[in-house]
Amino acid sequence: MYPELIHIGPVTIYTYGTMMAIGFIVSYLLLQAESKKLGDHPNLASDIVFWAAVGGIAGSKLLSILENIPDFLVDPIGMIFSGSGLVFHGGLIGGTIAVILVLRKYRKSIGVYADIIGPLLLVGQGFGRIGCFFAGCCHGKACDLPWAITFPHATPPADYPVHPTQLYEAFLNFGFFFILTKVIRPRTTKVGHTMAIYLMFAGVERFLIEFIRVNPRGWLNLSSAQFTSIGLFCAGLVVFFFLSKPKKK
């Protein structure tokens, strides 16, 4: 675990925040390149990334609070302003709402940009999961595999070998980003198909990873993230079969 990357006097630069920043910067550069190809306003890409970050952080924090209401009632201010407690699915919802508002402001096609932004979410999440790995959060259950890792100072602590689920997700995200952008998107015939496939992948990937992650279980012995994953997959199916539109020639 290397939660703190560097100390400069009284200032501490955290590894998780650094990886998140790298994810946003890389996503911005890729989005800017795609936006230029479409001949759109140069400020569009920066506005999308900025408001996606704001909406994503707000959404992830809100979902974290809803999942941990007893802790929130004990220390509401501390939980709101804590650097931890960011839930990906909440961030996805909050960021999506923010980006839709930006696209409406610029009067751009939500479907066209959804197909561009969907794969970029995989890039951001991939870097975020690397940050989780160094911070020690979001680790998996005990295992005896050769690549198992201990996280003695994590929450919850794991001073025994566990699945490095953060790296599993990072590998899957970067790999599927390549598949979406190089294989699937160039061959799709409808606007919205790329985003739909992303949603289905995100749902399946997180649903399966949760079985080897250390998370509280509820109804049907499933975690809250697994129920959200089912919702993402179903949303992807709806977009793929009912809401996608033929591409303009």
**pLDDT at residue 20 in the model:** 87
- The encoded tokens of residue 29 equal 């550069």
Band the pLDDT of 79: cuts 50, 70, 90. Answer: low
> Which of helix, strand or coil describes residue 150?
strand
Q: Are 135 and 1 in contact (CB under 8 A)?
A: yes
Q: What is the pLDDT of residues 99-114, one digit of tens each?
A: 999 999 999 999 999 9
Instruction: Tell me the domain boundaries of the chain.
Output: 4-186
Which is nearest to 237 in space by CA: 177, 192, 205, 174?
192
Greater confidence (72 vs 121) lies with 121
**pLDDT at residue 83 in the model:** 54
Residue 109 CB: number of other CB atoms within 10 A? 14
Could you tell me the maximum CA-CA distance found in the chain, to the nearest angstrom? Answer: 58
Band the pLDDT of 237: cuts 50, 70, 90. Answer: very high
